[in-house]
Amino acid sequence: MHPEHRNELLLDYLDRFVIAHRRGPTLVVLSREFHVSETVIRRDLRLLREHSCVTWLPHTPYTLRVVQKQPETATD
């Protein structure tokens, strides 16, 4: 799966998970859901964090939530 596509799916999954559970999934849950290693997920999430899309929740370094969706504006 292309990393950018996986990042979009990650954001969507995180968003839905937070709505359903009021918390974010762990790296273990994410790696199972996306069938990739925790290392790969961690790398993807680091990129998303740099773009202010996700954050760690304070009670555990492995629980995440969406903080801001990237604006869907066409820039031509």
> For residue 1, what pLDDT is reported?
64
The position carrying tokens 């998970």 is: 17
Right CATH number for 3-66 from 3.90.79.10, 1.10.260.40, 3.40.50.2300, 1.10.10.10?
Answer: 1.10.10.10
Task: Quote the Cα angle for 72-61-43, to 5°.
Answer: 55
> For residue 40, what pLDDT is reported?
92
Rounded to whole angstroms, the Cα distance separating 53 from 66 reads 6
> For residue 74, what pLDDT is reported?
53
- Give the pLDDT of the chain (76 residues) as one tens digit per residue: 677 788 889 989 988 988 898 888 888 899 999 999 999 988 988 888 888 888 876 666 667 888 766 556 555 4
> For residue 24, what pLDDT is reported?
83
Q: Which two tokens stand for residue 62?
A: 């492995």
> For residue 35, what pLDDT is reported?
92
